[in-house]
Structure 1
Amino acid sequence: MERAPHHTILFLLLLVHFGVAQNANKTGVDGFPVGVILDLQSMVGKIARTSILMALDDFYAAHRNYSTKVVLHIRDSESNNVQAASAAIDLLENHNVQLIIGPQKSSQASFVSDLGNSSQVPVISFTATSPSLYSASLPYFVRATLNDSAQVQSIACLIKTYGWREIVPIYEDTDYGRGIIPYLVDALQDIDAHVPYRSVIPLSATSEEISEELYKLMTMQTRVFIVHMSSTLAAPLFTKAKEVGMMSKGFVWIMTDGITNIINSMNTSVVEAMNGALGIQFYVNESGLNSFSIRWDRRFRIDNPNDPPLKLNIFGLWGYDTIWAVAQAVEKVGVSNRPLFQKLSVARNSTSLQNMGTSVYGPELLKIVLKNNFSGVSGYFDVSDRQLQASTFRIINIVGKVNLGTSTTNHASSVSGLNPVIWPGKSTEIPKGWEIPGSGKKLQVGVHKSAYKEYMTNERDPVTGAIKASGFSVDIFEEAVKRLPFALPYEYVAFDTSRDTSTGSYDDFVQQVYLKKYDVAIGDITIRYSRMAYVDFTLPYTESGVAMIVPSKGRVDKTWIFLQPLSRGMWIATTLMFVYTGSVVWLLEFLGNKRNVREPIPRKIGIVIFFSLFGDNERVERVLSRIVLIVWVFFLLILSSGYTANLATMLTVEQLKPTINSIDELRKSGVNVGYHNGSFVKNLLEDLNFNTSKVKAYDTPDDFYDALQKGSNNGGIAAFVHEVPYIKLFLAKHCKEYTMVGPFYKTAGFGYAFPKGSPLLGDISKAILNITEGDTIMQLENKWIGYQNDCKSGDSAVGSVSDPDKLSVDSFKGLLILTGVASTSSLIIAIMIYFYEKYKSMTSMQPDQNGEGLEENHKPQEVNEGDKIEENNQTGEGIDQYGQQQEETGGREMGNINLQTSSVRGNGSIFIWRERNLGARVAPISSSSRF
């Protein structure tokens, strides 16, 4: 646009406003000076100016009775910060403006806001969006637009929805461009996404410089870009991106609202170059704006007759609402005869800024603007927090034209219900967000020579010079790569080939990933917390832990092995219970007058306990005795079953006894201890307070095998502390001589190290999980870590078979208590019955009240069963004491006497009647008791 027409239009506008002011004075309406600073040559500046002028006309057309009239003084900043500051000084000094609308750019607003603070003149910008402008140091600055940081949550939610892990921001090198980056990075970190690189493009960048930066981005793996810049820089960026092939399948472009809010007004060719990109856009309810847009288009053509037509955007709507907010505030403040500025007393040679003074109406005007909330054409207008309150954003997909209906999302909520997206290259497949550059080098996979070749080894091909790697760890990695849903070219890089790398530290090996020498480090790398400070690990592909290799004492001596199934305490408890139960049964039978209890106790107790339930002559007769024996036999059955099972295990399983049983015993013994050179076990032993002079490093399994053979007293070691996978491999060869004790320390297992935030991490981890859950892991283990020689699975090749636990008192505590309670309760009941029957029999023998008693000839004699009756086991016949005395003394002949005896149990006594007459019967005094 030429300069002459612009000055002509500006001159005409000044005449119009001058005439309005003159007319206002004639009609009694007071003019209120308000300054406007815009980049009038920019697209946003032109749109904003039309909206401001249209808003002023519409406001006073709707409020003809207002006594105040806003008089605008519009200035062009010419996209220059110095010019914007100069325009602000001019407005304050020469026109005494009480409020400034603008400036347009964030960098311009910073200095102008300082002038507003000094003069107490509110500065309201509806286009400056940098977060750095909103602070307590700018109390007179009001942002009638959204802070750029309000959209970062929506961007983060969008990225989280698609699962992208690495993002590269591309932004202009200005306050506006840099202001959002800290907030964006924080939001991405919250969703575990990372920024591996930041692309900063100066405003003055040429087309060649932009192309060079884009080619640099193409050599990287990341394919997700967030563009945050003005439309003037975004246009050449996307045009060049299309030329170099970065608007094709696999790329992701996300634009902030600084571009998408005005995309309708951008050149058609630029919009076409953006096809497939996504954008965050402030949501405006467009219903009811049709008539407004038509009027605005007509007004824009009048204000800019020589410019191509532009479409109304959100900045135009915010500018329109800002004028209404200012005009309403001016009416409430009113205009009096007071001077507009209160001048300060300063020296004559002071600068113009010191002569400026402070605004009379500014502080009150600011308060009213902050309280003035209303529904405008842009939505609900609320700047009570000195900036427009965050509202709703929507995600748009640019495909030929802007798609305004993809999705809506609040700045703090997650994205859901997204419609299908057309990605760059007209692809409908969601980009994975990264890829190996076709023109770049292959994935650099670091390999390390392990002390165990079964896990990892490598060598250089003498013909091609390429590194070849093999081993269990290599096979797992190669199998995982095969299961990826995409091709992944890679090549192996040997770690530190200048020396014997088997002595190299694994910490140093992992450090190479952090230093970006490798894209991934594979091998038998233990996942440790200290290493995760600078790299990320995949899921482990093997178990781990730290244990000890110690010499074994040999096989168990089986001479007295029959005593081993039960612990010492159990043998003692069983013996005591045996004696106690037998004694109780004997007492129960004694109290019940069982005849054979008079036999020698040592001979009879065994019979009573074990066989009395089954023998005819030795059968116990009391119910209480049977109850005790039933419980006792049940206890013996359980005990014998456990004893038999434990004894069978000890007789059939070969066991190795370790010479050292725990890590504490090893530390206290003061013997020499070995570890693998370069392993983290050294630090572990130091943490466990081992004497460093007793800790020795060894490089290969043969080295520490020889040291174990020598022993600590001969300059060797008594134990070797190592990780469980290695110990299993060692014992596969030496299971007859050594055994494993532990593990005593837990680790996460072996994994592969990736750079922090690597997009490959998740895919490789999923593939490893798929391998470990199937049969493949078993096949690879059998291939590389299969047992050798005479060692078999389940034998001591995987560590010593632990001794079967001896049966202790705790194992049979319940049964012992039950047996004891049954025996004791039965004994107590028997004693109570005994004394009760004795008391009852004694009561029945007392004479009646008349003193009559039994006749002498018929009086029963009380004798003890053991003293009066002797049972003949051969014939079953017996004679009483009376008959024996007759035979010994030659007494009366008893041939004619039919002597019958009847014994009656009652309280331990037997009563016998003797009758001289033939056929006389013997009758008991009391009934027999069998309980």
Structure 2
Amino acid sequence: MRKNHVVSLFFCLALMIISKGVATAQSSTVPVNVGVILDKDTWAGKMGLRCISMALNDFYASHGHYKTRLVLNVRDSNKSVVRAALMAQDLLQNVKVQAIIGPVTSMQANFVINLGEHSQVPIISFSATSPSLSSLRSEYFIRATHIDTCQVKAISSLVQAFGWRAVVPVYADTEFGEGVIPFLTDALQEVNARIPYRSVIHPSASDAEIAAELYKLMTMQTRVFVVHMPPDLGSQFFAKANEVGMMSKDYVWIITTGITNHFSMVEPLVNIPMPGVLGVRPHVPRRKRLDHFITRWKWKSRQKNSVDANLSIFGLWAYDATIALAMAVEKVGARHSSYNSTHKHLRGVLASTRLHGLSGDFHIVNGQLRSSAFQIVNIIGNVEQVIGFWTEKNGISKGLNFTSTNMYSTSKQNLGAIVWPGETTYAPKGWVIPTNKKNLRVGVPVKDGFSAFVNVTRGSSSSTTVVTGFCIDVFDAVMAALPYNVPYEYVPFMKHNGEMAGDYNELVYQVFLGNFDAVVGDVTILANRSLYVDFTLPYTESGVTMIVPVKDKKEKNEWVFLKSFTWDLWVTSACFFVFMGFFIWILEHKKNEDFRGTRAQQIGTSFWFSFSTMVFAHSNPLSLHLNILDKRLSLLLTQHCSSFYLLDYVLSIEEKVVSNLARFVVIIWCFVVLILTQSYTASLTSMLTVRKLEPTFTSVQDLIMKGETIGYPKDSFVLQLLKQFNIDSSKLKEFNVTSDLEVAFSKGSSDGGMAAAFNEIPYLKLFLEKHCSKYALVGPTIKTNGFGFVFPKGSPLVPDVSRALLSVTEGDKMVQIQKAWFGEKINCPDDAGASLASSSLSLNSFWGLFLIVGVASSIALIIFTSTLVFEHRHKLMHFVSQIYGYILHR
């Protein structure tokens, strides 16, 4: 019992000592007045004030030894910009606060920042995100939240990932709404996405006014919308959009942090009908400390029976900003206790604060919270599903575990599964045919000539027309290859009398004016046209070139028989004939009496024998004196191959060869002569009989120098291209249809026709299919880009149609269309523009034959010499011994 009394007495003494220590510590702290300006009746104001209070309690509970204590002086701005300014003035002048936390909205912050700049007191806002506040260039403004411009790159990456080419921003008609639009526009332009329209919603707009704007958006082609507005206006807007049917398939809605930052971290989304909407918001890493704070938040809310129990990222920033302010005040307060000195140095400390807060890495750089990563969320029902992340360095990614090899990515493959409006799982293409139009109006040209490309004929009634042609079939095939259906109709560009209503430039310009949704036909892609319309990829051969008649230039020279061989082949052949005569004489003159006699007779006989092998005809070649070959073998050869007539003749000539070596060499030489004579005959025959077609002119300069007339197609850009050659305008003549071209060429320049004509290669190729033996393509090819389909500038159809066009041109469908309209490719008997007569034969084609003869002759000569030496070896040895003896006795 006595022991219990002692313990109780000790416990009481300990409590007294602790209480006295706490009282001493509290009496030694320095209070620092801090102003707080919030809208107390709003959810954001209530949440912000509660988070600020919890931050101070938590901070000083763990830092009880700090010498300073923040004293909150709370003021209610009551949603008024003027009242917020008045409350700030009261806090600065009367209370002498060292800093002000708040206000909530950017419009209120605009005025309060000016007052803080004048008084040199830091203004810390955890919810003013408008970029316009940065233009104030206030050194005393600390933005403890992400600026709205941080998210525009993440939004543009989403647009780029899905290939959307047009985006309509929908924003509130306030400073907050308008501030981010210029930055969003720039970011979208960087990914080749344009903004065809801007939808502005007044913050106090009625449901009827919002519905009217939504119906206006429904009549447009674009179906990708970026919504940037406060959450209360956003809730009203999406409720109306759902009501009018704009939360269905084919629509894409992307919401900014203006809405996603207000999403609750405690409760599911309520009263915001946004199924299938995509959004971006700052990434908040979930840690135990944050989970513990959320648990305490829920517990306090239940204790106070609070209706507004939601907690957003703005609450976390308010908490972290308060902690940062308390740390900065403690750091400055110990050295600068006076009012005038404390708040001046406080700004410098706050501008570079960094701590690990509830929101993550809370790092103030140059007075502004630095952004790190953004989450990409997909709202499914009343739950937001994180489908990916975006960072400035790596772009879109599935997670935040990066390595040094990660590259910047905008691939949609890095996103999770998305449920789009209308509960569809496939990505919308981002545009549709406007609801105020039934079909695309596709303009087509009306012209005479070259109807295989485009042909417009009137039906039984004057009001109906039939459009056919190669270009039409290609466009039909391309539209059928699109992954979606696009209804369209062809509208001829013509007057009431059936004539074309203008030239091709005027036809293309109708797309710019909005009279046509597209143009299909033989329309060339030109730089000046691309200034106000967009073209697809070309689907025909490109270029403009010249066509001229061809003429037959047969060889009529009296020395044409010498042109069959080149001079080097003639010289080589002559040398070998002389060599063979001399070589046969060496082998035969010892044994063959025909090769003996006087020196002149021996030379004549040798050359006669060599050159006589060229003679082909001989009387009765079958009656031979066959002393070289067996008669049966000779008859067999002559019966099966007429080519051996030459051999038979050689064997029957008067001078017979008796040496086997000579016979071996003569047989090889006969084959060489046979090939040479037959090649010569074929080449000479080709020169004398085959047509040799050559263009009448080969260059524009030739035409200009001779004053010839040059033709060009009517109503075509070709005339502008011809002007670069400085051609006299009087020497230019237009033609319309194919028949005009033929007649003009037949007349020539002297009779009112033309000597040459310029046109695009597809037209000329079609013309040459029927007249390839009369005309040829010559001269320079002026580069153009071929035929393409025309669409309005920025049309989302262009990339899809171009991709479908590639699939058609790379497949069999294009081949079938070409055969249907142009038929099978005709192989002209005469390839116009090129010389068809054989060229002269050169030594390069026969040097192998001469090599064989030379090698065979060399072998025969070696054998002959060896045999001769062997037969006269005794005489030779006797002669050598005599010479040797003579040398020794000398």
Distance 1:375 1:603 in 2: 114
Aligned to 2:333: 334
Counterpart among 331, 356, 374 of residue 355 in structure 2 = 374
Contact 1:100 1:123 in 2 (8 A): yes
Shift, 1:640, TM fit: 7.1
1:231 Cα offset (Å): 0.7
Corresponding position of 1:440? 437
**Corresponding position: 1:422 with 2:432:** no
CA-CA distance at 1:613 after TM superposition: 14
Q: Shift of residue 794 of structure 1? A: 2.0
Q: Secondary structure at the match of 1:492?
A: strand
> Structure 2 CA distance, aligned partners of 1:619 and 1:118?
131
2:800 paired with 1:763: yes
CA positional deviation for 1:523? 0.8
Task: Tell me whether 1:802 sits opposite 2:834 in the alignment.
Answer: yes
The 2-side partners of 1:143 and 1:464 are apart by: 71
2:780 and 2:469 map into 1 onto residues whose CA distance is 25
Q: Secondary structure at the match of 2:520?
A: strand
Report whether the alignment pairs 1:716 with 2:714.
no
Corresponding residue to 2:569 among 549, 552, 574: 574
1:877-921 residue CA offsets vs partner (Å, 9 max, x unmatched): xxxxxxxxxxxxxxxxxxxxxxxxxxxxxxxxxxxxxxxxxxxxx
1:169-188 maps to which residues of 2 (within 5 A)?
A: 169-188=169-188
**1:658/1:287 CA distance change after superposition, 3 Å:** same
Cα pair 1:36 1:74 within 8 Å, conserved: yes
Q: Residue 320 of structure 2 aligns with which residue?
A: 321
Asked if 2 retains the 8 angstrom alpha-carbon contact of 1:543 and 1:749, the reply is yes
2:69 alignment partner, SS class: strand
CA contact (8 A) 1:451 1:502 kept: no
Q: 2:681 and 2:806 mapped to 1: Cα distance? A: 44
Separation in structure 1 between the aligned mates of residue 535 and residue 610 of structure 2, nearest angstrom: 72
1:670 maps to 707
- Tell me what 2:130 maps to: 130
Alpha-carbon distance, 1:830 to partner: 9.6
Q: List per-residue Cα deviations over 1:796-825 (Å, max 9, x = no partner).
A: 89x83633485468x865975996999799
Residue 363 of structure 1 deviates from its aligned partner by 5.0
1:13 corresponds to which residue? Answer: none
Shift of 1:114: 4.2
Q: Distance in 2 between matches of 1:527 and 1:201?
A: 41
- Structure 1 contact 448–501 (Cα < 8 Å) conserved: no
Specify the code of the residue in structure 2 equivalent to 1:541. Y
Whether the 8 Å CA contact 2:699–2:780 is kept in 1: the answer is: no
Tell me whether 1:217 sits opposite 2:217 in the alignment.
yes
Instruction: Give the Cα–Cα distance (whole angstroms) in 2 for the partners of residues 427 and 421 of structure 1.
Output: 8
Q: Deviations over 1:482-502 (max 9, x none)?
A: 333333222333336378754
**Cα deviations by residue, 1:112-161 (Å, 9 ceiling, x for unpaired):** 44444444433332222234444693444333222323223332333333
Structure 1 residue 444, shift from structure 2 partner:
1.8
Alignment gaps of 5+ in structure 2: 1-22, 397-409, 596-601, 616-645, 870-875
Q: How far apart are residue 60 of structure 1 and its match?
A: 1.3
Q: How far apart in 1 are the matches of 2:462 and 2:356?
A: 74
Deviation at 1:328, TM superposition (A): 0.9
Asked if the contact 1:67–1:331 (Cα under 8 Å) also holds between the matched residues in 2, the reply is yes
Q: Deviations over 1:468-491 (max 9, x none)?
A: 433222222233333333332223
* 1:514 paired to 2:512: yes
Is the CA contact 2:172–2:203 (under 8 Å) kept in the aligned structure 1?
yes
Matches within 5 A, 1:517-666: 517-553=515-551, 555=552, 557=554, 571-583=566-578, 596=595, 598-599=603-604, 602-606=607-611, 656-666=693-703
* Matched residue SS, 1:454: coil
CA distance, structure 1, for counterparts of residue 738 and residue 555 of structure 2 = 34
- Cα pair distance change 1:793/1:311, threshold 3 Å: same
Distance in 1 between residues matched to 2:367 and 2:674, nearest whole Å: 89
Q: In the TM superposition, what is the alpha-carbon distance from 1:314 to its structure 2 partner?
A: 0.8
Distance 1:642 1:197 in 2: 80
Q: CA deviation at 1:244?
A: 0.5
- Residue 269 and residue 321 in structure 1: after superposition, are their counterparts in 2 closer, same or farther (change >3 A)? closer
Over 3 Å counting, the alpha-carbon distance change for 1:473 and 1:65 in structure 2 is same
Per the alignment, do residues 476 and 813 of structure 1 end up closer, same or farther by CA in structure 2, a change over 3 Å counting? same
CA change 1:783–1:824 in 2 (3 A) is closer
Gapped regions of structure 1 (runs ≥ 5) = 1-22, 342-359, 854-931
Listed as ranges, the matches of 1:688-837 within 5 Å are 688-732=725-769, 734-735=771-772, 737-741=774-778, 744-786=781-823, 793-795=826-828, 800=832, 802-804=834-836, 807=839, 813=844
Match of 2:161 in 1: 161
Name the stretch that deviates more: 232-241 or 28-37. 28-37
Aligned residue type for 1:666: L
Which one has a bigger Cα radius of gyration? 1
Q: Give per-residue Cα distances to partners, 1:504-562, cap 9 Å, x unaligned.
A: 33222222222332211111111233333332222333223222232232x55487899
Instruction: Name the residue aligned to 1:484.
Output: 482
Q: Secondary structure of the equivalent of 2:389?
A: strand
After superposition, residues 898-913 of structure 1 pair within 5 angstroms as none
Structure-2 residue corresponding to 1:248 = 248
Deviations 1:756-775 (A, max 9, x none): 33222233334333433444
How far, CA to CA, are the matches of 2:677 and 2:65 in structure 1?
109
Seen in structure 2, the aligned counterparts of structure 1 residues 83 and 620 have a Cα distance that, compared at 3 Å, is farther
Aligned-pair distance for 1:446? 1.6
Task: Report the residue type matching 1:598 in the other structure.
Answer: I
TM-score (norm 1): 0.75
Q: Aligned Cα RMSD in Å?
A: 4.5
Aligned partner of 2:293 in structure 1 is 292
Contact 1:271 1:400 in 2 (8 A): no
CA distance change for structure 1 residues 708 and 374 in 2, over 3 Å: closer, same or farther?
same
Deviation for aligned residue 1:686: 1.8
Partner of 2:473: 475
Distance 1:647 1:193 in 2: 69
Q: Kindly provide the CA deviation profile for residues 226-285 of structure 1, in whole angstroms up to 9, marking residues without a partner as x.
A: 111111211111011011110112212111122122233899896552112111122222
Residue 537 of structure 2: SS of its match in structure 1? coil
* 1:12 alignment partner in structure 2: none
Quote how far apart the aligned CAs of 1:400 are.
1.8
Output the amino acid matched with 1:507. N
- Pairwise CA distance, 1:312: 0.9
Amino acid at match of 2:728: N
Asked if the contact 1:589–1:620 (Cα under 8 Å) also holds between the matched residues in 2, the reply is: no
Deviation at 1:673, TM superposition (A): 1.3
- Change in Cα spacing, 1:337 to 1:735, as seen in structure 2 (3 Å) is closer
User: Percent identical across equivalent pairs?
Assistant: 39
Q: 1:666 is paired with a residue of what secondary structure?
A: helix
How far does the alpha carbon of each residue in 1:139-197 deviate from its partner, in whole angstroms, 9 at most, with x for none? 44333222323223332333333333322221122333233333333333343333222
Change (3 A) 1:830 1:198: farther
Aligned-partner SS, 1:420: coil
Q: Give the CA deviation at 1:210.
A: 1.0
Separation (CA, whole Å) in 1 of partners of 2:117 and 2:837: 84
Letter in 2 for 1:514: F
For the residues of structure 2 that align with 1:522 and 1:561, how far apart are their CA atoms?
A: 59
Q: Secondary structure of 1:46's match?
A: helix
- Please tell me whether the aligned partners of residues 773 and 828 of structure 2 are also in contact (alpha carbons under 8 angstroms): no
